[in-house]
């Protein structure tokens, strides 16, 4: 039980870190792709920076993430690779290769955070579904990230999910915090809200 709690806490920490770094990137109008877990990839750049702990050096993580390609992290926050190409198995209509790679990578049980340079939004994906969308232009949205991550873990990200059109129609989600939309089963979200 203690190991499971530590694993959940580690997952929350890395999710929050990637969202906070993603917000900085999005506000500048740049994009990024973070994948936490195992995925097949091909380096686009020479891997000159050795693996490092993203919690100890978020600035380096931010710098490496704005390169073309994805950043691959282990579940403990160690950056394993950067500037890598991830094979997409599905094309997401009206979105670029970064979002297609994000959807494909998240289907393998990985946590994926994609930062869109076009609309300045951050999307969190799990199991091939967008579970949260954050608008970096919303005033003080950074203050709500921790609450949103806690909410996801409380409801259980496994119960959340959206149809493929979810990122195309944010109205299918529920905005519980300013600038943050959660997608998923209305049943589980309203059940959670009644407990509060």
Q: What is d(CA 84, CA 196) in angstroms, rounded to the nearest whole number?
A: 42
Percentage of the chain lying above the pLDDT 70 cut: 70
What the chain holds in terms of domains, given with CATH numbers, is 2-195 (3.40.1700.10)
Integer CA distances (angstroms), 19 to 16, 71, 93, 170, in order:
5, 13, 24, 18
Q: What is d(CA 60, CA 77) in angstroms, rounded to the nearest whole number?
A: 13
Residues 3-60: tens digit of each pLDDT: 655 655 677 899 999 999 999 999 999 999 999 999 999 999 999 999 999 999 999 9
Beta strands of 4-148 (E only): which ranges? 32-36, 41-43, 52-53, 70-73, 78-86, 111-115, 121-126, 129-135
Q: What's the pTM value of the predicted model, to 2 decimals?
A: 0.81
144 phi, psi to nearest 5 deg: -95, -5
User: Quick one: angle between helices 58-65 and 2-27, nearest 10?
Assistant: 60
139 phi, psi to nearest 5 deg: -60, 130
Residues 130-185: tens digit of each pLDDT: 888 888 888 888 887 787 777 666 555 444 443 333 333 344 555 556 677 766 54
């Amino acid at each position: 039980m203690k190991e499971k709690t530590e694993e959940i806490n580690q997952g929350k920490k890395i999710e929050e870190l990637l969202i906070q770094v993603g917000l900085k990137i999005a506000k500048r109008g740049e994009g990024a792709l973070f994948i936490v877990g195992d995925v097949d990839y091909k380096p686009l750049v020479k891997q000159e920076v050795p693996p490092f702990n993203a919690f100890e050096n978020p600035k380096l993580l931010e710098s490496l993430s704005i390169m073309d390609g994805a950043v691959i992290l282990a579940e403990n926050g160690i950056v394993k690779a950067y500037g890598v190409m991830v094979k997409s198995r599905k094309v997401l209509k009206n979105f670029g290769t970064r979002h297609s790679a994000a959807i494909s990578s998240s289907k393998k049980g990985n946590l994926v955070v994609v930062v869109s340079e076009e609309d300045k939004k951050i999307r969190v994906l799990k199991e091939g579904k967008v579970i949260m969308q954050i608008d970096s232009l919303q005033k003080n949205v950074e203050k709500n990230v921790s609450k949103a991550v806690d909410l996801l873990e409380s409801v259980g990200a496994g119960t959340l999910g959206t149809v493929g059109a979810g990122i195309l129609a944010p109205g299918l989600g529920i905005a519980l915090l300013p600038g943050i939309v959660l997608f998923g089963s209305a049943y589980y979200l309203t059940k959670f809200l009644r407990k509060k």
